[in-house]
Amino acid sequence: MFYLFKYLSIALWLSRFIFCKSQDLIVHSVAGSKVHVYNNADGNIQVNSNSHTDVKVENNVNRMHYVITGDTFEMSNNCIQNYNVSAVDYHEYGKIANYVCSNCCLGKIENDMFKGITRKVDISFNNITKLNDNALKEFQNIPEIILSHNNITNVNLTQFQAIYKDKKINFDLSYNPFVCDCKLNKFIQYLKGNQNETFTFHTVNIFCAKPTELNGTPLTTINENLFCDYTENCPEHCHCSVDDIENFPFVLIDCNNSNLTHFPNITSVGPSVAIQLNLSHNQISSLPSTVKSDPTWKKISILDLSYNHFTTLKDLPVLPNLTTLYLHNNFLSEFDHAIIANLSNLIHLTLTNNPWLCTCKMSKFVLKSSVIEEKNLITCKKDELLYNITNDDQICTRLRSSSFNWLVLFLPIIVIVIVISVIVILFINYKSEIVYYMFSKGICLGFVCEDDIDADKVYDAFVSYSSADEDWITDFLVPGLEASIPPYKLCLHNRDWIGGEFIIDQIIRSVESSRRNIIVLTDNYLKSKWSRLEFDVAYEQGLKDQVRRVMIIVPNEVPDLSQIEPEFKTFITLTTYIQANKPHFWRTLRASMPRAKSIRKPSGTKNSVI
């Protein structure tokens, strides 16, 4: 009761200064409280309070005035629930330059709210959600506007350009929860540009709040157009989006990884709207029967058919607007040149990872084409041999040699010429593979003194394996080599690597310090992110030293090699591996190891860092 009486007394005392004899009200800033002003019929001033912090002042009020100290009007930290400024005239109190109402519970911008303000408006830390035409017009005569820490989710740049085309105004929209979709594309491009128009924006601390995958992303780092959901006529199991909700030039139909076995039902969106169709990672094996009669297909500009089960494209119609066609990772074997040639506007075409059959015509077409990407990765098969499609000399020479019957008369000479030509061409194009094969079979080792090369090497072998196979290594392989006679000194990553060093550096040092590199080939090894790096380093070191370095051990059965990279697969296929479950394993393994110069003791144990 004491505090209530004290509070009412102070309020009544303030009213003697706040309220004039006329029915005009001068309101001073009372930071931290909620003040409500009402009109009462008898004109008497009444102060009622139900708590220690809420004050309610009632009086017959026709005009609200503000007393300003200096040129700044400060009302921060008041929760203003009803803001009526229709009668406010700041000029009665001199020239007002700055208006500050930070953390004032403002939910919108009222008409004439900043009338007479000449320099700056700071309404940060409020609940403003929209900047419509009426709100933007309130700022058009004020050079600096601070709207940070509000709830603004979108900026319509077109509105700004229409209203502020002749105004020099700077906006601070930092720390607002922007929804990063297609509605922000123009605003983002403006932020990233020179902002050479009359109005400008702060570019610091402007982030995406939604969607989740872009949360915290600065708007100025977004380099691609954002999309908005477009649900009208969107096919089942697909997701449709556009990059401009009002005037979109195309619709992206994304059916990626949807377990589709046939084409979705696609309908036209508009006469001038293109379609970008993504059907990758499905199980589609053929084009729809209506592909040639359906006019919707003519609107497709990008078509992604990668990672499907297509075996032919003979039904693909002429698509006049198609610029991009992805066909990689299918089951295509026969190349139809006429279909590709009829796609007159095609710019990008992918054909890799298909079981193509080699033809001279296809090879020459690929070489001449400017639209086919990753040509050096396209392979084809002829007579059980795999060729790079760009090696037209090999492909065409081999095919021509089998077509001339008269060559039988000069068979010995022609065979010699062909063999020499093939060897020369193969050596030019596959020099690294041939050199490795020679060393893997022991060819040319007589020209190299291995002991001279390996004089400074610490280990007899570096064991490259997956940590998932560690039990087999420590229980079987290591005892069989380090405890044998003669014993071999092995380098193991879980025992001999030094803590705190980069893994890549330790791999290189282990390979360079070892006379052999043993690859323990398992499914776990092929899945390891380090296996390919360890192999590449060992392989290059062997070529550099001109010594056969790499050995392959298979603990059980040979793992599935179909999913690994072609170069790695070729190496494994060409190398004779040693299977641990076969007879004479240890004898074969020790015979492949380097000659021991002296009896060595097994290396000591170190704490693992991997």
248 and 361 in a single domain? The answer is: yes
Domain span at residue 588 reads 450-592
Angle at 444 between CA 443 and CA 449, to 5 degrees: 125
pLDDT, position 43: 32
**Residue 106 clears pLDDT 70, i.e. is over it:** yes
Confidence of residue 566 (pLDDT cuts 50, 70, 90): confident
Q: Considering the domain boundaries, does residue 480 fall inside one?
A: yes
Looking at residue 277, its pLDDT comes to: 92
Domain contains 599? no
In a domain, 486, yes or no: yes
Please check whether residue 150 is in contact with residue 127, taking contact to mean a CB–CB distance below 8 angstroms.
yes
Q: How confident is the model at residue 31 (pLDDT cuts 50, 70, 90)?
A: very low
Is there a domain that residue 1 lies in?
no
Q: Which of 400, 430, 460 is where one domain is finished?
A: 400
- Structure tokens of 373? 């990407």
- Cβ within 8 Å of residue 602, ≥6 positions away: 482, 483, 487, 489
**127 and 42 fall within a common domain:** yes
Residue 479 within any structural domain of the chain: yes
Q: How far apart are CA 300 and CA 320, in angstroms?
A: 9
Fill in the DSSP letter of residue 468.
G
Give the model's pLDDT for residue 85: 56
| Residues 388, 407 share a domain | no
pLDDT computed for residue 442 by the predictor: 56
If you average pLDDT over residues 77-87, what whole number do you get? 68
The pLDDT, as a whole number, for residue 450 is 59
Do 147 and 201 share a structural domain? yes
At residue 36, the pLDDT reads: 35
Q: What is the pLDDT of residue 443?
A: 59
State the pLDDT at residue 18.
33
Ranked by mean pLDDT, which of 46-50, 154-158, 192-196 comes out on top?
154-158
| pLDDT at res. 592 | 83
**Cβ(497)–Cβ(510) under 8 Å?**
yes
* pLDDT at 429 exceeding the cut of 90: no
Read off the pLDDT band of 187 (50, 70, 90): confident
| Residue-level pLDDT at 184 | 86
Query: Are residue 248 and residue 386 in the same domain, yes or no?
Result: yes
* 240 lies in the same domain as 274: yes
Across the strands, what pairs with 491? 462
Distance CA 152, CA 284 (A): 44
Most confident option among 294-303, 321-330, 404-413, 517-526:
321-330
Q: Quick one: pLDDT at residue 394?
A: 78
9's CB contacts (< 8 A; 6+ apart) are none
The reported pLDDT for the residue numbered 567 is 75
Of 12-26, 64-78, 594-608, the range with the lowest mean pLDDT is 12-26
Mean pLDDT computed over every residue of the chain: 76
pLDDT above 70 as % of the chain: 77
Taking the C-alpha atoms of 603, 537, 579 and 610 in order, what is their torsion angle to the nearest 10 degrees? 50
Sign for the pseudo-dihedral over CA of 518, 520, 526, 527? negative
CATH number at residue 572: 3.40.50.10140
CATH code of the domain containing 201: 3.80.10.10
Residue 398 is predicted with a pLDDT of: 59
**What percentage of residues in the chain have a pLDDT greater than 90?**
15
Tell me how many domains the chain contains: 4
Residue 10 lies in a domain: no
Is the pLDDT confidence value at 573 over 60?
Answer: yes
One domain for residues 356 and 293: yes
Final residue belonging to a domain, choices 415, 439, 463: 439
Confidence band of 364 (pLDDT split at 50, 70, 90): confident
pLDDT value at position 430?
Answer: 66
Of the residues 176, 194, 221, the one at which a domain ends: 221
pLDDT band at residue 328 using 50, 70 and 90 as cut-offs: very high
Residues 356, 238 share a domain: yes
**Once rounded to an integer, what is the mean pLDDT over residues 151-174?**
85
pLDDT of residue 600: 46
Residue 243 and residue 373 in one domain = yes
- The answer to which of 72-81, 231-240, 303-312 has the lowest mean pLDDT is 72-81
Q: Where is pLDDT greater, at 255 or 15?
A: 255
pLDDT of residue 283: 93
Tell me what the mean pLDDT of segment 101-130 comes to: 88
This model's pTM is above 0.85? no
- Asked if the structure places residue 196 within a domain, the reply is yes
Residues 372 and 465 in one domain: no
State the pLDDT at residue 40. Answer: 34
Q: Are residues 157 and 243 in the same domain?
A: no
Could you tell me the pLDDT band of residue 354, with boundaries at 50, 70 and 90?
Answer: very high
CB 98: neighbour CB atoms within 10 A? 18
| Distance separating alpha carbons of residues 145 and 156, to the nearest angstrom | 16
- b/e code 508-533 from CB counts within 10 Å (16+ = b): bbbbbebbbbbbbbbebbbebebbee
Cβ-based burial of 278 (10 A; exposed 0-12, middle 13-18, buried ≥19): buried
CA pair distance 580, 553, nearest whole angstrom? 7
Among the ranges 133-137, 141-145, 228-232, 313-317, which has the highest mean pLDDT value?
141-145
**Strand, coil or helix: what is 252?**
strand
Both 576 and 539 in one domain: the answer is yes
Domain contains 18: no
